[in-house]
Structure 1
Amino acid sequence: MPRPVHLSARARPGLVAAALVLAAGATAGACSTSAPGRLDPTGTAVATVAPAPAPTETLLPDDTVATHSAVGELVDGFPADLVPVPDGAEVLLSSALPVDGTDLTQVSLNLRTGQDAAGLLAAVRAPLVAAGFTEGTPPVPEPGLAAQSTFSRGDGSELLVVGILDRDDERTLTLGGRVRTAAP
């Protein structure tokens, strides 16, 4: 069985000092750059910094999504007669994607306006009700929204959900769902 080693009082400070030197060296190494240093014309050492990587992903990465979405305007194929942009509203994002194997189109619209929430919802409601949609109340109200509603038509396969956020004297409307561009 090994015998315990007792360090003399003189050896302990030397051992502690060596441990501190090793720890300081390890810490300094962890903080250094892997890029080689260089001297500038004045003879001062300058660290070389690698350039930041460039982003490789776009906001609309999939070509299918990109051709059916638009930023700042209504995308081609968006049913503007059914969901017109209210006067004075700024379109943030829109999309209209045909649903495979059906006559439905998946739509979304995000816009911003200074119009009050009740007036904005009324502007969306009027053309939808005129086109035969029935307004309903969402099953679970979203906290924090100034107004929200659902609109359905026919057998329920056409459904739009509308939410309006009221913040800093501006309203942001988000609308999404599925519709037929021609009445059933």
Structure 2
Amino acid sequence: MRPAISLRHPRPDDAAALEALVSDPAVALPTAAIPHPYPPGGAAAHLADLARRQAGGLEHAFAIIAGIAPETAPGTAPLIGMITLRPDIDDGDGRTAELGYVLGRDWWGQGIATAAGRKVLVIARDQLALARLAADVKHDNHRSAAVLHHLGFTETGRRMKHWPARGGMVLVRQFVLNLG
């Protein structure tokens, strides 16, 4: 049985849990943006930057929480991952966003990333009025590709893409989902 999860906006007090999660090389290395080794204090700086980006409408971020944790109850349940939507302002109509997610290794294989993704798809469509979502995964990241398939994404191809945290070009699988 899959554990209950909830989503809420990330907070500064999530820094320690986030840093512990992304310091795991199995979590960081398949991603485009999480450096490894992860710098001490990096999560606090990342969360502050994320809050600025969210306030400016440049990113929509959600903490994945184990159990039910209302927005107003700090520290009641652990952060076990993050999921983000990054609107693509260059897509012509501003209605496409890139989906990204990360989940702590202890929580893999339980359907949690898919459950969190489903919650975010509703937000993307109903609250943010997005028409399409796109996602790229490292070519050998079969777990992440499976999550996207479970969410209804279609694989559209492969290409080389610059992934800063991996130091250059990486072969990625590209996915898209039409929400409208």
TM-score (norm 2): 0.29
Structure label with greater radius of gyration? 1
